[in-house]
Amino acid sequence: MDLKAIRWGLLSLILLIISGCALFVEDNPEKIVSQRVNERWDALIEGRLERAYAFETPEYRELYSFMDYRNTIHGVGSWRKVQIDDVVCEDDKCVASIVIYATIELGMGFEAVESDARAKENWIHHSTSGQWYHISDH
C-alpha cells in the first residue's frame, strides 16, 4: 500500500468530519438564536438602540422608523443583564425564554431596587436573507 495515499485518505476523512460538524453547528437554530438574543440585549443594555433596531425584521423596519422603535423602548439605563433560560425552535420560528435583570431607581431618598422579570421573545428565520430576526410586539 502507498503510505502517501493512506495519509491523504485519512486527511480527507478528517476534513470531511470536521466540515460536517461545522455545518451542524452553523445550522443549529437554537444556538444561532441564543447568540442573536445576547447580541440584541447587549445593544439594548448599552443604549445602542440603532444596533438593537437592526435585529427587527426587515418588514418591521419598513413599517416603523427608528424613531418609532426608539419611542417603544423603555428601560435603557436600568437593565443590567439578560439570562437565556431556553430557546425552543420549530421550523422557522423560535421562542427564547429570558430573564431580564434591572436596577430600578425610586428616587426621593429611596434606595435602588434590584428586580428581574421573565419574558418570551419570538424570533423568525427570514427566508430571503437567511438571518434570524426578533419579532416585535409593536
How much is the pLDDT for 109? 82
Would you put residue 95 in left (φ > 0), alpha (ψ -120 to 50) or beta?
A: beta
Report the C-alpha gap between 5 and 20 in whole angstroms: 22
Report the C-alpha gap between 80 and 103 in whole angstroms: 7
**Mean pLDDT of successive 10-residue segments in the chain (138 residues)?**
58 52 64 98 97 97 96 91 97 97 87 93 95 92
How much is the pLDDT for 137? 82
CA end-to-end span of the chain: 68
How much is the pLDDT for 21? 45
Domain boundaries, the chain: 31-135
Task: Indicate the pTM of the whole model.
Answer: 0.77
Q: What is the CATH number of domain 31-135?
A: 3.10.450.50
How much is the pLDDT for 11? 47
Cell triple for 119: 419574558
The dihedrals phi and psi of 82, each to the nearest 5 degrees, come to -130, 140
How much is the pLDDT for 1? 56
